[in-house]
Structure 1
Amino acid sequence: MSTIVGRFIRHELRTVDPATAIAFYEGLFGWTTEPYPMGRIIRAGATVIGGISEVKPGLGGHWTPYIGAADVDAVATAAAQAGGIVTTGEPADVPGLGRLAPILDRDMSIFCSFAPLEPSEPATSGFVWDRLRTPDVAAAADFYAGTVGWQATVAPDGAAAVFDATDGTRVAEALAVADGEPTGWLPFVGVADLETARGTATRLGGTATESAAIAGVGSYAVVTDPEGATLAVFEPEH
């Protein structure tokens, strides 16, 4: 269990139209899906990397990262004390999956604290990075340090931070956004060719915007699926 604490171990898509979402992501990334009690699981090759579940109309599509925990109840309590909200009121056991608590942080960005029924290593394919977009990087760093146990390093100007799990593994970053810009968790998915991924996303009914290059790392674009859920497609520098 210790190897998953503070690590992103799966990502779940909440969508009002699972069939459309499945067609979009299978076409974009070559993922496969199969039924499980809460919807469908997503595989990248043979590896389970997340799931897809249906939400009521009006809630909009969104990706929710699952962060590993040794004690979900303790994380939920700490989050509530720090100003977060456990959206289900209290943690719950999901048959065949594990114990989880969906949590809104102080900026209303959602994640799940998750203790899987059968502990496993974090997935090494599919999702490769996670970025928190927040109006207050320092406050977000304090929140996640106090709830999921990350060690945060905030830039001197307060515009960015990086997060390390308790084992020292770098797991995520936070970037400051201006008023009116999208907030929340943005997962990154690795691709072999960024321009091909952008074109495929558009052809399948999504949009691709906000392209950027990170010196020495790679390039990415933000993709919005037909139901409004966003993620980034990332091509590492060769």
Structure 2
Amino acid sequence: MTTFTEHKQGTFSWIELATKDAAQAKKFYGELFGWSFEDMPAGPDLIYSMCNIGGKHVGALYQMGAEMAKEVPPHWDSYVTVNDVDATTKKVAPAGGKVVKEPFDVLDVGRMSVVQDPTGATLCLWQAKKHIGASIKDDPGTLCWNEVYTSNVDRAGKFYSEVLGWKLDPVDMGPMGVYTLFKAPGVEDSVGGMMGITKDMGDVPSHWCAYIATNDVDASAKKATDLGGTIMVPPTDIPNIGRFSIVSDPGGAMFALYKNMH
């Protein structure tokens, strides 16, 4: 079990589902990944549900209010830990991005902002206080990777480099095209990846996708459909790296299933 007591600057630390039907989402993810849920009141008419494995936090979900649900489809948000969310957020506009929500305190657990890169992909920035984010990563049923699909890899890459200090490591994947790995200063492993949106993907907006680890991608993808989800990208091998599938839950929020080859 890969447990964490802190997350380093520039690394992904949390995922959060905004859904139109929390009960439906709990049933789907509970059966798919074995998650249990801990409901926490988080304001008027808002219940914030921690998603747990073995009593440890792996993510969260909440049901959107009526106004938000009219404007925003169900989705998974990805969070990156930063040491100073105010200073990092100030870099967003000069780098060509947009601040969706200025930094604000989340009770006494942390401080955050919501930003968009120049191509429209949304990302949350998190400065931890009492809540570091996920206590477990990289194990089955937990976050193992985050990847941005973008309409312009050059603009997006420059943005993340300027705002988060990530170094770009392009890798030629042959028929799959060029895949860019993000490297954070002082962190040995790559922290995330970037792919250009291709014509065969259709009219897909730029977005971040959370990858959740599983012992068997094919079995998990089938189970997702049995539970009312939809396979968007069927189980596919990434040569010498792993196997993945992109699915959407019954509410339409997309995420990826992944198993490392090594």
- Fold shared by both chains (TM-score > 0.5): yes
**Secondary structure at 2:144's aligned position in 1?**
strand
Q: Is the 8 A contact 2:6 2:132 kept in 1?
A: no
Offset at residue 25 of structure 1 (A):
0.7
Paired residue type of 1:164: K
Query: Aligned equivalents of 2:204 and 2:94: distance in 1?
Result: 27
Within the alignment, does 1:28 sit opposite 2:47 as a pair?
no
2:120 to 96, 105, 108: 108
Paired residue type of 2:184: A
55-64 or 91-100: bigger deviation: 55-64
Q: Return the TM-score normalized by structure 1.
A: 0.91
Query: Aligned equivalents of 1:219 and 1:156: distance in 2?
Result: 18
Aligned length: 237
**Within-5 A mapping of 1:160-179:** 160-168=179-187, 169-178=189-198
Within the alignment, does 1:186 sit opposite 2:205 as a pair?
no
**Within-5 A mapping of 1:104-183:** 104-118=116-130, 120=132, 123-124=136-137, 125=139, 126-155=142-171, 159-168=178-187, 169-178=189-198, 180-183=203-206
**Secondary structure at 1:139's aligned position in 2?**
helix
Gaps of 5+ in 1: none
Relative to structure 1, the CA distance from residue 121 to residue 51 in structure 2 (aligned partners, 3 Å threshold; closer, same or farther) is closer
Relative to structure 1, the CA distance from residue 192 to residue 67 in structure 2 (aligned partners, 3 Å threshold; closer, same or farther) is same
**Secondary structure at 2:124's aligned position in 1?**
strand
Paired residue type of 1:154: P
Relative to structure 1, the CA distance from residue 96 to residue 20 in structure 2 (aligned partners, 3 Å threshold; closer, same or farther) is farther
Within the alignment, does 1:198 sit opposite 2:221 as a pair?
yes
1:92 to 104, 115, 119: 104
**Secondary structure at 1:87's aligned position in 2?**
strand
Paired residue type of 2:220: A
Match of 1:40 in 2: 49
Q: Is the 8 A contact 2:120 2:205 kept in 1?
A: no
Query: Aligned equivalents of 2:54 and 2:152: distance in 1?
Result: 37
Offset at residue 119 of structure 1 (A):
6.4
**Secondary structure at 1:57's aligned position in 2?**
helix
Gaps of 5+ in 2: 43-47
Offset at residue 156 of structure 1 (A):
7.5
**Secondary structure at 1:80's aligned position in 2?**
coil
Paired residue type of 2:85: V
1:19 to 23, 26, 31: 23
**Secondary structure at 1:33's aligned position in 2?**
strand
> Cα deviations across residues 115-137 of structure 1 (Å, max 9, x unaligned)?
11136486323010111101111
37-46 or 226-235: bigger deviation: 37-46
Offset at residue 103 of structure 1 (A):
0.9
RMSD of the TM alignment (CA)? 2.2
